[in-house]
Structure 1
């Protein structure tokens, strides 16, 4: 330390590297740069996991008692080594935190015990895992690309009981039309993947939903963004251009402007309605993301 009230060795280092004489001469930009990253904020670039864990922790503390109970019923969530925090003695990761929020939203309106569920674009199967762990479904079918289905089959075969896994079906995209031609479902789920499909593909799936399902739960972005500060376009300009052309909600907006999100949410709900015989029963922003919207549609007539 320099003098009785002087700097520690640590702050001696920071005074040379972050809060330097040069950086203190101008106010422009100092709150999103090195000085403030040592005075008030952690630099988000090297501290991404710290911020992610903080987000998970804060959201987990706000879960309703019912959602916390639902989370506890989902066994083997540690498979795959997720990034977790521990709240009230329970490990929580962002995937399953979202899953219980989705389950809570849907179950307010849909009787899930005995339900036949189909999920389009199911990823590795965490939604299926959450639903089957909390309700006695009749069946749960996953529709996806081959590589994703292979991962989901391996994962769900590991985390589900034999009885639960026996209710799960895996549908390849070249089997989709035959599968829907013979099926009737109480609930269709799409989380995130419609926003990554070509518009014609989305419309084809919605036509199948219109003919075969009673309820449809969608959770997707209300639009696109071009804010390079969020991800540095780290996967390249070509991939950004590809992403801008997918889905039915393709307007570019400031995804951290609540008014812009609310305006585009109205368009989102209209764009993804499966058909004229459907109404939206409920809708809201889908935590934790500022620009994701969740909506539950119900068919008005058989």
Structure 2
């Protein structure tokens, strides 16, 4: 026996530590034998996920990714695959773009994004398509980040096409603008229902297409994060968004069943048609859909 396994046997995997088998697959015993401790190896698992997703990227998506310069800003957790640095945010962004492009011609398009985060989607679309104008609506605090980030990663002529509108200035700043594509990724599900209805109405009145990528429902699986943000935060999350059913988000049938409600909940208006919808990899409980306004609007 080598010194490593001598140590493991004396200190980690032995009859005393094995104990009752009821929970051993979530214990240090099994983490030494099969896979890395999930409690302390989050980055390892994240990089493994990125690596596997990168191995499945289409050549078209590799091309989309290569066109996006400045992705390394902010030191994202990344892997190197076929000589390219890849992180999860931009992997998701190019796949979002792929889904949208199947049904929307983005060259010359005017885009509205509600809740842009730090700006990865804007960065991706502006780097790949001839976008004529990109409008961001967001909270002032978050918008401070996206404005700063996009100023760094976009060339001046591209950054000048981006308009930033605070949530409290929507009515006074949008004017009579209409948009070929409206986008919301992972934020309507965090708003109160009245706010969601407001934004869907805004999209219905000003948009020609709407792309959304959001959770299909809520979950209460404490094993995922041990409810690290506290029970009050859990309660707030459970009340937010248009879909509040608690489901097993790691049951594909439960997610698929809930997806029917997702399409109904995110349709901007009854007259709008859902062009396409499907699971939004890699997170199990996310769904994506593209809606199109009635012909008279187009």
Structure 1 length-normalised TM:
0.96
Match of 1:139 in 2: 133
Match of 1:173 in 2: 167
Match of 2:30 in 1: 36
Match of 2:216 in 1: 222
Match of 2:198 in 1: 204
Match of 1:123 in 2: 117
Match of 1:3 in 2: none
1:155 aligns with 2:149: yes
> What are the superposed Cα offsets for residues 190-239 of structure 1, whole Å, 9 maximum, x if unpaired?
00000111110000000010001000000000000010100111011101
1:96 aligns with 2:78: no
1:23 shift after superposition:
3.5
Alignment of 1:1-302 (within 5 A): 6=1, 8-301=2-295, 302=297
SS of the residue aligned with 1:113? coil
1:179 shift after superposition:
3.6
> What are the superposed Cα offsets for residues 164-192 of structure 1, whole Å, 9 maximum, x if unpaired?
10110101011112344411000000000
SS of the residue aligned with 1:29? helix
Gaps of 5+ in 1: 1-5
List structure 1 segments (4+ residues) > 4 angstroms apart after TM superposition: none
Gaps of 5+ in 2: none
Taking the aligned partners of 2:154 and 2:163, their CA distance within structure 1 comes to 13
Taking the aligned partners of 1:68 and 1:59, their CA distance within structure 2 comes to 12
Asked if the contact 1:256/1:290 (under 8 Å) is kept, the reply is yes
Q: RMSD of aligned C-alpha atoms?
A: 1.0
1:272 shift after superposition:
1.1
